[in-house]
Amino acid sequence: MVNSKSTSLFSPSDPNTWGYLLTLEQTARILGVSNWTLREWDKKGKLVAIRVGSRNDRRYRKEDVLAYLNSVEIKLKK
């Protein structure tokens, strides 16, 4: 029998395990960059985060992260 918790674990290489909103740390793992780099990208508008909660934590939309990955992949193929 498979534990239901094990099937819902986050995997950076499997978008099916990602939630709608990703944390700064999850997004950094997916993209292979540091948290600091993501903060800089947010400031520069390269990959914009939304802010949530009273602490204004950064969250990244799954579709934005996938779009960024696709744009990088297209540039690498050229």
Q: How many CB atoms lie within 10 A of CB 31?
A: 18
pTM: 0.76
Report, as an integer, the average pLDDT of 27-46: 96
> Domains in the chain, start-ordered, CATH in brackets?
20-77 (1.10.1660.10)
Q: Does residue 4 surpass a pLDDT of 50?
A: no
Here the tokens at position 51 are 């802010």
Per-residue DSSP letter, 43: H
pLDDT at 1: 45
Report, as an integer, the average pLDDT of 15-21: 85
- Is residue 51 within 8 A of residue 57, CB to CB? The reply is yes
> How do residues 38-69 score in pLDDT, each as one tens digit?
999 999 999 999 999 999 999 999 999 999 99
**What b-and-e string marks burial along 36-59, b requiring 16 or more CB atoms within 10 Å of the CB?**
eebeebbeeeebebeeeeeeeebb
